[in-house]
């Protein structure tokens, strides 16, 4: 896991060294263990390393005999199998990323088809005078780019492109509307005008500073659900999950698990214990004063039952007030998901505990049918309920018009072929919600602390099995993730597989309600909010924050985000100090 960046000039001149230094420094938190740089033929590749595999010889860039050079952010989990299949290849290191550059020289721009892992890769090919960028099919690892009249540039985070002076820190009104109405933004365009995402599964070819070719590797298989009996389904589920978990445990540094106490992380605890054969280190987060949504004590109980070592941390309202500006600053590609708060705290605790790698449960809901919106797409409920995300968080606010345009495109793309309505809803989430909310949150909240998050459910082998399960094995009348729950009930009976889903939700409403009047005034006066949301609506949102926390949190998050990423205010103060400085 690392931070990568680079430049290709249009005229072939060497990139400006000051520009490269700024890019490198802006990504320093992603790679505290070393730096690498390649300059040739008007191209620069930069690499800030977080050393996980091959600690001694795995520095990047990595080279192939034909001259191709690679920098990468991620983990290639089938590294061992790839090396075995490429007997006689003159590898120079044990790096999990090295086979990719040899695959490129053998297979060209289709090289990523062979990769099993999470990755954002950049390859400079001097013979063909081109740059190639590739991103994993689920979008677990981020990658962004921009084009100007002078150059093409890319980076692991858009804030690095802004920090380098390549693009002004302004806001796209349509993406702002999406963020406030949906909690995340869709598609290739980011909230920073001119900065685009390399889409999940996309490979770009750049020549002379221009994108000349695009390819896309699908995350999901084609086709409708396929019938399978319960016994066969449970056996195959266990096989694919154990296989994925085992390869996700390949590491030369200590690893652990984020355990919420819910279905997904409990399943991972059982799988990791079986695959590793050792005592697992677990972290969980609770809330000061407990409450109905605090499952950390349940997580402690489950860890004890599985023989794991558990570290419970507790987030308080004081922590929220002190750290929320820094958390919003870390999420440069913004998502107004309140789960960023405990995720950031867990990343901080993991680093303090000496963990560089943590396994996480992201992706299980999307692949195995965990959300109620999936059950509602089965007959007869789909005839009685509206499709998901047809109503924005702030209703039909005129100043937030156009917020569904990206979703409409995603809905059209997902509805191809003969997928069931439930599969279509899953595919929409996997194309947009998953990479642009959940995985972006996980990446930034952990990498700001120099910690790698791994997601065993988001694996091509797992997805190939799970997505084509019968709808009835995903969503029942009362429960989602029917098959996964049935497996957990057998594999880890103490986990309460048929308990109701609670989610990883901090009591942010109560925290904001304690200072509702002050927050309402400060947020309403923040310039980024003032230009788009009427002050009376802002105050009303904070007045009802305890009963309906999301509108107030979305406004507060955006105010803090805008203060850092547009106004340039230091996020080191508490909420009141940062917002006061922004007025």
Contacts 24+ apart (CB under 8 A), 426-433: 426/220, 426/366, 426/367, 426/369, 426/374, 426/467, 427/220, 429/366, 429/371, 430/138, 430/219, 430/220, 430/366, 430/367, 431/200, 431/219, 432/184, 432/186, 432/187, 432/406, 432/407, 433/184, 433/366
Q: 289 and 342 share a domain?
A: yes
Write the pLDDT tens digit of every residue in 185-233. 999 999 999 999 999 999 999 999 999 999 999 999 999 999 999 999 9
Retrieve residue 340's tokens. Answer: 């960023």
What does the alpha-carbon distance between residue 248 and residue 459 come to, in Å, rounded to a whole number?
10
Total structural domains in the chain? 3
Is 556 in the same domain as 471?
Answer: no
Shared domain for 65 and 156, answered yes or no, is: yes
Residue recorded with tokens 């698990």: 257
Cα 57 to its chain centre, rounded Å, is 28
Find the range with the poorest average confidence among 290-294, 357-361, 545-549.
290-294
The residue with greater pLDDT, 40 or 58, is 40
| Contacts of 87 by beta carbon, 8 Å cutoff, 6+ apart | none
Q: Are 7 and 20 in contact (CB under 8 A)?
A: yes
Alpha-carbon span 207 to 15, nearest angstrom:
15
| Domain-terminating residue out of 495, 518, 535 | 495
96 labeled part of a ligand binding site: yes
Q: Rounded to an integer, what is the distance from CA 29 to the centroid of its chain?
A: 17
**What CATH number does the domain containing 456 carry?**
3.40.50.620
- Bridge partners of 132, per DSSP, are 123, 205
Residues 242 and 175 in one domain: no
Does the structure show a pLDDT above 80 at 134? yes
Rama region for 44: left / alpha / beta (φ>0; ψ in -120 to 50; rest): beta
Q: Could you tell me if residue 109 is inside a domain?
A: yes
pLDDT the model gives residue 384: 73
Q: Could you count the other beta carbons within 10 Å of the beta carbon of residue 485?
A: 20
Domain identity same for 13 and 106: yes
If asked whether residues 178 and 298 sit together in one domain, one would say no
Q: Environment class of residue 470 by beta-carbon count within 10 Å: exposed (0-12), middle (13-18) or buried (19+)?
A: middle
Task: Say whether both 187 and 45 belong to one domain.
Answer: yes
Q: Is residue 457 part of a domain?
A: yes
281-321 confidence digits (pLDDT tens): 999 999 987 666 788 999 999 999 999 999 999 999 999 99
Identify the pLDDT of residue 477. Answer: 81
> Are 55 and 161 in the same domain?
yes
In a domain, 501, yes or no: no
- Sheet containing 210-216: order of strands: 62-63, 69-76, 117-125, 130-135, 202-207, 210-216
Residues 454 and 476 in one domain: yes
Same-domain status, 449 and 528 = no
On the 0-12 / 13-18 / 19+ scale of CB atoms within 10 A, 382 is middle
pTM of the model: 0.97
Q: Domain limits at 156? A: 2-216
**For residue range 148-184, what is the model confidence (pLDDT) as tens digits?**
999 999 999 999 999 999 999 999 999 999 999 999 9
Domain CATH number, residue 87 = 3.60.20.10
Residues 303 and 264 in one domain: yes
Q: Quick one: pLDDT band at residue 86, thresholds 50, 70, 90?
A: very high
2 annotated active-site: yes
Burial class (CB in 10 A: 0-12, 13-18, 19+), 253: middle
CB 146 within 8 A of CB 153: yes
Separation CA 248–CA 271 (nearest Å) = 11
**Looking at 470, 495, 520, which one is the last position of a domain?**
495
3-state secondary structure 206-260: EECCEEEEEEECCCCCCCCCCCCCHHHHHHHHHHHHHHHHHHHCCCCCCEEEECC
Sheet of strand 151-155, all strands in order from the earlier edge strand to the far edge? 35-40, 43-49, 2-9, 151-155, 144-147, 196-197
Residue 269 lies in a domain: yes
Last residue of a domain, one of 186, 216, 246: 216
Q: Which of 2, 162, 310, 445 is catalytic?
A: 2
Query: Does 238 lie in the same domain as 209?
Result: no
Helix or strand (DSSP H, E) at 575: helix 575-582
CB-CB contact of 55 with 253 (8 Å): yes
With respect to residue 329, please indicate whether it lies within any of the assigned structural domains: no
- 224 in a structural domain: no
Which two structure tokens, joined as six digits, stand for 562? Answer: 């805008």
Residue 101 within a domain: yes
- Judge whether 322 lies within some domain: no
């Amino acid at each position: 896991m690392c931070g990568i960046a680079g430049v290709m000039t249009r005229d072939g001149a060497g990139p400006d060294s000051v520009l490269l230094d700024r890019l490198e420094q802006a990504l320093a938190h992603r790679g505290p263990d070393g730096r690498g740089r390649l300059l040739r033929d008007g191209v620069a590749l930069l690499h800030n390393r977080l050393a996980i595999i091959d600690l001694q010889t795995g520095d990047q860039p990595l080279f192939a005999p034909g001259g191709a050079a690679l920098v990468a952010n991620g983990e290639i989990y089938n590294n061992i199998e790839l090396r075995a299949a490429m007997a006689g290849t003159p590898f120079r290191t044990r790096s999990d990323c090295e086979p990719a550059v040899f695959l490129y020289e053998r297979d060209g721009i289709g090289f990523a088809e062979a990769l099993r892992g999470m990755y954002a890769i950049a390859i400079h090919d001097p013979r063909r005078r081109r740059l190639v960028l590739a991103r994993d099919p689920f979008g677990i690892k981020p990658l962004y780019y921009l084009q100007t009249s002078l150059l093409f540039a890319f980076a692991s985070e858009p804030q690095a492109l802004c920090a380098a002076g390549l693009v002004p820190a302004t806001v796209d009104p349509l993406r702002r509307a999406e963020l406030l109405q949906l909690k995340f933004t869709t598609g290739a365009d980011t909230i920073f005008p001119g900065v685009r995402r390399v889409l999940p599964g996309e490979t770009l070819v750049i020549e002379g500073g221009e994108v000349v070719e695009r390819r896309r590797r699908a995350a999901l298989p084609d086709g409708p659900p396929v019938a399978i009996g319960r016994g066969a389904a449970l056996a195959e589920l266990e096989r694919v999950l154990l296989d994925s978990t085992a390869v996700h445990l390949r590491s030369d540094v200590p690893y652990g698990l984020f355990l919420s106490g819910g279905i997904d992380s409990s399943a991972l605890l059982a799988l990791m214990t079986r695959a590793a054969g050792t005592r697992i280190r677990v972290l969980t987060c609770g809330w000061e004063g407990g409450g109905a949504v605090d499952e950390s004590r349940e997580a402690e109980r489950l860890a004890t039952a599985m023989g794991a070592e558990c570290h419970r941390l507790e987030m308080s309202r004081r922590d929220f007030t002190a750290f929320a500006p820094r958390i919003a600053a870390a999420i440069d590609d913004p998502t107004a998901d309140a789960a960023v708060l405990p995720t950031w705290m867990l990343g901080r605790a993991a680093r303090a505990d000496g963990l560089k790698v943590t396994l996480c449960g992201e992706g299980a809901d999307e692949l195995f049918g965990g959300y109620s919106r999936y059950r509602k797409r089965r007959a007869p409920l789909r005839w009685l309920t509206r499709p998901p995300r047809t109503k924005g968080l702030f209703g039909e606010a005129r100043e937030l018009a156009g917020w569904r345009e990206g979703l409409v495109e995603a809905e059209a793309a997902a509805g191809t072929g003969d997928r069931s309505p439930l599969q279509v809803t899953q595919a929409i989430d996997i194309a947009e919600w998953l990479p642009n909310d959940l995985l972006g949150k996980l990446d930034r909240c952990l990498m700001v602390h120099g910690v790698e998050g791994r997601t065993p459910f988001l694996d091509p082998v797992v997805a190939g099995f799970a997505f084509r399960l019968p709808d009835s094995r995903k969503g029942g009348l009362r429960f989602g993730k029917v098959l996964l729950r049935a497996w957990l009930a057998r594999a880890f009976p103490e986990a309460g597989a048929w308990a109701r889903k609670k989610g990883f939700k901090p009591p942010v409403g109560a925290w904001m309600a304690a200072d509702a009047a002050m927050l309402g005034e400060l947020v309403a006066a923040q310039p980024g909010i003032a230009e788009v949301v009427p002050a009376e609506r802002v105050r009303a949102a904070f007045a009802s924050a305890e009963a309906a926390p999301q509108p107030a949190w979305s406004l507060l998050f955006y105010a803090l985000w805008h203060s850092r990423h547009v106004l340039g205010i230091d996020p080191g103060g508490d909420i009141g100090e940062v917002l006061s400085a922004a007025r």
